[in-house]
Structure 1
Amino acid sequence: MALVSFSTAGLPAAQRVALWEDHNTSALIGLRCRMLGETSFDGTELNLQLDRMHLARVRGNAHVVERPAEVIRRSPADAIAVYLAVAGEAFFYHEDGVLTLRPGQALVCDADRPFMRGFSRGLEELAIKVPRATFREITGLDELRAPLVRDFARGDASARTLARLVDRAVRPDGGEPIDEETVLHLLAGMTGRSAADPGRVHLANARAFIEDHLSDPGLNAARVAAGIAISERHLSRAFAAAGASLPRYVLVRRLERARAVLLAEERVTVAEAAARCGFGSTKYFAQTFRAHFGFRASDLRRASDPRRASDLRRPSDLRRAGDLRRA
């Protein structure tokens, strides 16, 4: 499904807040917005409506949003909201107190319980709206009585993976496909509920950890398992269920990244690309690259037309690796 973009840029200053509220009521969650000071509101939002959830990337300058009881009555969401802070500190007032959300943290809350959120330095965040019926299906919970905060920068592997997947799905330059079922299982883990398919969660967390550490020549099963807090046995089972081994997956991802580097950066040598992508031996890199892609890494340098180089043959095992990443 296509991303839908909304921006207040170019709109009359006096109408921006009202138009922003209208957009959010129809596209995400109904809110009342007000400014901090005399500055005009400046905001952009990328929305992606999926079959079982709604995703958004939101940017804005300093402001406050409220969802009081009268707004909830007028525009019920019947949903759970997840806010993942990318930039800008935010406060969250709710019935039982106040929370502070810093970049790298995720807030999970019931969208039909009154709250107020404030962004004194502006914000960039990722948002997820999950219908209550879907949330009940994956967690067994009808509601969240209190908001939850999870650290996706360091502490919570499921939150970190969820943030990575959503970030890739709602990028301004075009999003990547996202597996909704994986996102829902990750969300269940964030709420403390066991996922119905833990292997799916282990695989997603492992893939995210691998992406963050591909440049490390010492990346292995033990390191990945420790990084996502599971046993090597569970890790091996997760990859086996997807039809691949972890060492093979790591190798393919390194080769794919090296290929992308060589295509994108003309001044990077083959040896530099190999080292950047975790290969300790340039000779081994050259051998595996040719065996995997069917052409030499140096061919990407010699092709007169970069577009022609990017269309060089991709073998069947590379397509299998792509299938594994989407599993």
Structure 2
Amino acid sequence: MLLVDTQQVAAPDRVAAVNAALTAGCVASRIVHKDPAGDVHATMHLWTIGPCKLVTAHATGLRQTRTPKHLRGDDQPEMLALAMQSRGLAQYDKSGHQQLVRTGDLMINDLTSPYDVNWPDDGGSSAFNVTYDLLGVPVDLARRAAPLLHTSPLYSLVQHHLGTLIRQAPVLSEDPGAPALAAATVELLRALLVSAAADDRLARPVRADTQLTRIMAYARQHLTDPGLTPARLAAVHGLSERSLYLLLRDAGISLEQWIITQRLEGARRDLAAEGKRHRTIAAIARTWGFTDPSYFTRRFQRAYGARPKDFRQAARSPD
């Protein structure tokens, strides 16, 4: 859902429109624009992913401050935001902890206490918002973990997952699997917080609860690697192959079939993409882990009812 696009708003009304959108998409706060009389512009979207929300924003320089007064007047459930800086720099100050957030960095924003975020220049950020009831970790643990996220070995995994979620939000929010995707994202976030906070009391149950999620997230991240095998997945996650297969069986997942299906879908998207017309079919197949062109053709035809060459030609043909 589009919250605001200032190209559709008259210049004198843009500051008010941006402020209203930030309040609707985030939480009540004080917003001060760097140059309110200048060329204020912003684009904001709100996507619903299962019971969670994903907010994306790009805007000219501004400062957003959530004060104790805002907290007292807020009747929303207690929430936490996992944010990724998508453009520019952000200066973040919470409870005396100051952090410079660069493009691509993750940041935890506990929305139950005051904070100050400043974009000195044009910037962009996306945030996955989840209630603490759904997240299932104490507020104090989240606050303890916030400045230590980068120390967790799960950081890059969650970073990749959230980045994919942001890029594909319009499609994923409408997918029938959106509630399951939200649950998986929440589990990864919980694991990241426990890992960063080094909370031994919660670490063991969280690791058990999120094991399958972490395995499948790793598999998605390495789909294009021909070396993605059950043995590798098991070794990376400290399991025997037997234990891996038992875990997947209980979840109703055939690993080999799942990998092939995901790779075929990736190849199908690339074959249909206008920006990849210069690439040969064999090159696209190799990109998605298919080293045998004949095998790729057979599996593709079985899945989509057409050879890759015919599918690509049909995708290029006008309606």
* TM surpasses 0.5: yes
Is the contact between residue 87 and residue 125 of structure 1 (CA under 8 Å) also seen in structure 2? yes
Q: Which residue of 2 aligns with 1:160?
A: 159
CA offset at residue 176 of structure 1?
5.0
The answer to whether the aligner puts 1:286 opposite 2:297 as a matched pair is: yes
Higher-helix-fraction structure? 2
Question: Hey, what's the Cα distance between the residues in 2 that align with 1:241 and 1:168?
Answer: 31
In structure 2, relative to structure 1, the CA distance for the partners of 1:276 and 1:290 (3 Å cut) is: same
Which letter does structure 2 place at the counterpart of 1:181? A
Which letter does structure 1 place at the counterpart of 2:192? M
Matches within 5 A, 1:190-209: 190-192=192-194, 193-194=202-203, 201-209=210-218
1:273 to 284, 287, 294: 284
Cα RMSD after superposing both structures: 3.4
Which letter does structure 1 place at the counterpart of 2:74? S
Matches within 5 A, 1:3-18: 3-18=1-16
Q: Which residue of 2 aligns with 1:220?
A: 229
Which letter does structure 2 place at the counterpart of 1:32? R
The answer to whether the aligner puts 1:231 opposite 2:231 as a matched pair is: no
Is the contact between residue 85 and residue 104 of structure 2 (CA under 8 Å) also seen in structure 1? yes
CA offset at residue 214 of structure 1?
2.9
Is the contact between residue 83 and residue 106 of structure 1 (CA under 8 Å) also seen in structure 2? yes
Q: Which residue of 1 aligns with 2:184?
A: 182
Question: Hey, what's the Cα distance between the residues in 1 that align with 2:219 and 2:19?
Answer: 40
The answer to whether the aligner puts 1:262 opposite 2:232 as a matched pair is: no
Q: Which residue of 1 aligns with 2:54?
A: 55
Structure 2 unaligned residues grouped into runs of 5+: 195-201
Is the contact between residue 61 and residue 119 of structure 2 (CA under 8 Å) also seen in structure 1? yes
Is the contact between residue 202 and residue 238 of structure 1 (CA under 8 Å) also seen in structure 2? no
Is the contact between residue 42 and residue 59 of structure 2 (CA under 8 Å) also seen in structure 1? yes
Q: Which residue of 2 aligns with 1:25?
A: 23
Using the aligned pairs only, state the percent identity. Answer: 21
Instruction: Please give the TM-score of this superposition, normalised by the length of structure 1.
Output: 0.77
Q: Which residue of 1 aligns with 2:198?
A: none
Q: Residue 22 of structure 2: SS of its match in structure 1?
A: helix
Question: Hey, what's the Cα distance between the residues in 2 that align with 1:271 and 1:108?
Answer: 42
In structure 2, relative to structure 1, the CA distance for the partners of 1:71 and 1:208 (3 Å cut) is: same
Question: Hey, what's the Cα distance between the residues in 1 that align with 2:117 and 2:130?
Answer: 19
Question: Hey, what's the Cα distance between the residues in 2 that align with 1:304 and 1:118?
Answer: 45
Question: Hey, what's the Cα distance between the residues in 1 that align with 2:209 and 2:160?
Answer: 12
Question: Hey, what's the Cα distance between the residues in 2 that align with 1:44 and 1:85?
Answer: 15
Aligned length: 302
Which letter does structure 1 place at the counterpart of 2:183? E
Question: Hey, what's the Cα distance between the residues in 1 that align with 2:315 and 2:117?
Answer: 54
Question: Hey, what's the Cα distance between the residues in 2 that align with 1:130 and 1:18?
Answer: 27
Q: Which residue of 2 aligns with 1:324?
A: none
Q: Residue 6 of structure 1: SS of its match in structure 2?
A: strand
Instruction: Please give the TM-score of this superposition, normalised by the length of structure 2.
Output: 0.78
